[in-house]
Amino acid sequence: MIFGFAAALLCAGISPAGAQGLYPAYDDAFSARIANPTDNGTLAQFVTVAVNAGQYDQAISSIEQYLIKYPRDARARLAASRLYYHVGSYELARRQVQYGIEVGDLSTAEQQEAVRLLARIERALRGITWELALTGGAFSAFTDFEPGGAQDDNSFVSPYGRAEGFVRWDLGTPSADALVLSGALTATERFFTPDLSVPGSKETFIHGNAAITWDKGLPNSGIDSLRLLLSAFTVTDRFDSDVHETGIGLSGRFLVRPTVETTLFAGGGYIDLSASQGIFADSRGFYEAGGSYRFRNGQALGLRFVGSNDFASGSGEIGRSYMGEVRYGGLLMNVPDLFAWSHQVAFSAGHSDTPDLSIGIGTNIKSDFWRIASESDFQLTESQKISVDLAYRETNFDLASRDRKSFEMLMSYTLTLN
């Protein structure tokens, strides 16, 4: 049927938050639909463009219009179910996918996908959703040190692995409150220099975090969405057997959506670092603020500012750092039955004034940096994607001999289970 392309696109797993694409053709597709309301090909094209542009309400309206004329199109039913699932209309999603399965005009792969989707919908109706993403790949880095420095230039390639996931319990309140349990574990090798940890060594780096979050809807007037996220968390960064930063803390974040296209956030928190080894800080306060805006063509612009202050018992503040970032991107290309390519470019810059761990007496060292990154995701199926991330960074220290330039590349494959 004509909705095969739309269904394939939806199987790429594009969500309302991530359905961002370079599709200035949206207005043209809409105009064509209005001019040719009975043309099924025009209608199918509009649904495809609307989904890629994140216009789910328009896509739902159009696909429902199609189903009035062709109620036994099972692939269109499956596509409609996915649309309803992504916008949280689980009862309508279940009705559509059940009807599509009953019609029985799906391929083997589509039938299996419909059964998996129905299982997710049933869990969502019971108030439980979950996701587990497993990533494996290769991480490579090259660091160029200034002449006269204590380090030689260094390059290496290392295996990379990451597991992250969440379980979300809907508390059944009118404001859609929820309890979320989340966590992540990352392992690879990195090259650490004196101001970070071990001088001139390539060590196994492990990052882990876990949190329990209360996602609370707040009363609002004239605002699309206002939410408060309160979290208790634990985090660890292991640089080597003698240096690790481990702590537990509390954080809060406000989320505001003045319009469907705009999201703003601000928050902060505190972490107790007394369980750490080889660092000088006993605690840290941190803060953040930012927002994002999705344009009509589906591209999104994001801004973020983060900072932190480190403290030691009996010494007061011993370090501080801050960073600003601007990020732009969205879906660039969709090739039916092959992949959907989304791309983002990010630029960040910041300052750090922290103790130098290499000499063990807490002498501070100041540095400034800037970084540019290119991040590409190729969504193969709903549950599989390949990512290629590139980043270039320059860091300038008070001591010029420690200045460095670095280039990093991460190629990875991710399997998502839900």
Average the pLDDT over 162-167 and give the result. Answer: 96
Cα distance between residue 192 and residue 240, in whole Å: 9
pLDDT on residue 360 = 57
Q: Which CATH superfamily is domain 4-125 in?
A: Tetratricopeptide repeat domain (1.25.40.10)
- Which residues fall within 8 angstroms of residue 374, CB to CB, at 6 or more apart? 343, 344, 345, 389, 390, 391
Query: 397 falls in which pLDDT band (50, 70, 90)?
Result: confident
Least confident of 150-154, 161-165, 288-292, 410-414: 150-154
For residues 362, 363, 368, 369, the Cα torsion angle rounded to the nearest 10 degrees is -40
pLDDT digit string (tens) for 28-68? 666 666 566 556 566 666 666 666 556 677 778 777 877 88
pLDDT on residue 350 = 96
Cα distance between residue 116 and residue 136, in whole Å: 24
Does residue 267 carry a pLDDT above 90? yes
Q: Measured on CA atoms in the order 46, 47, 49, 50, is the torsion positive or negative? A: positive
Does residue 76 carry a pLDDT above 90? no
- Which residues fall within 8 angstroms of residue 135, CB to CB, at 6 or more apart? 160, 161, 162, 163, 164, 387, 412, 413, 414, 415
Helix (H) or strand (E) holding 375: strand 364-379
Give percent above pLDDT 70 in the chain. 78
- Strand ranges for 171-299 from DSSP E: 178-192, 201-217, 225-240, 243-259, 262-272, 283-294
Would you kindly state where each structural domain of the chain is located, as residue ranges? Answer: 4-125, 128-417
Least confident of 255-264, 268-277, 301-310: 255-264
Q: How many CA atoms lie within 13 A of 339 on its CB side?
A: 14
Least confident of 71-85, 316-330, 336-350: 71-85
Does residue 334 carry a pLDDT above 50? yes
SS3 content of the chain, % helix, strand, coil (to 5): 20, 50, 25
DSSP structural state of residue 280: S
Q: Is 1 helix (H, G, I), strand (E, B) or coil?
A: coil
Q: Are strands 316-335 and 404-417 parallel, antiparallel or unpaired?
A: unpaired
Cβ neighbours of 53 (radius 10 Å): 29
Cβ neighbours of 277 (radius 10 Å): 12
Cα distance between residue 84 and residue 82, in whole Å: 5
Query: 101 falls in which pLDDT band (50, 70, 90)?
Result: confident
Comparing 6 with 83, the larger pLDDT belongs to: 83
Does residue 327 carry a pLDDT above 90? yes
Comparing 7 with 331, the larger pLDDT belongs to: 331
Average the pLDDT over 359-369 and give the result. Answer: 75
Does residue 157 carry a pLDDT above 60? yes
Average the pLDDT over 148-157 and give the result. Answer: 68
Comparing 416 with 24, the larger pLDDT belongs to: 416
Least confident of 22-26, 135-139, 237-241, 401-405: 22-26
Architecture of domain 128-417: Beta Barrel (2.40)
pLDDT on residue 1 = 39
Does residue 362 carry a pLDDT above 90? no
pLDDT on residue 274 = 92
pLDDT on residue 407 = 93
Cα distance between residue 236 and residue 10, in whole Å: 37
44-48, 346-350, 381-385 — which one is most confidently predicted on average? 346-350
pLDDT digit string (tens) for 107-135? 887 888 888 888 888 888 888 888 999 99
Query: 103 falls in which pLDDT band (50, 70, 90)?
Result: confident
Average the pLDDT over 129-155 and give the result. Answer: 82
Bridge partners (DSSP) listed for residue 246: 236
CA 327 to chain centre: 12
Helix (H) or strand (E) holding 62: helix 56-69
As given in the structure block, the two tokens for residue 359 are: 């000499």
Q: Is 117 helix (H, G, I), strand (E, B) or coil?
A: helix
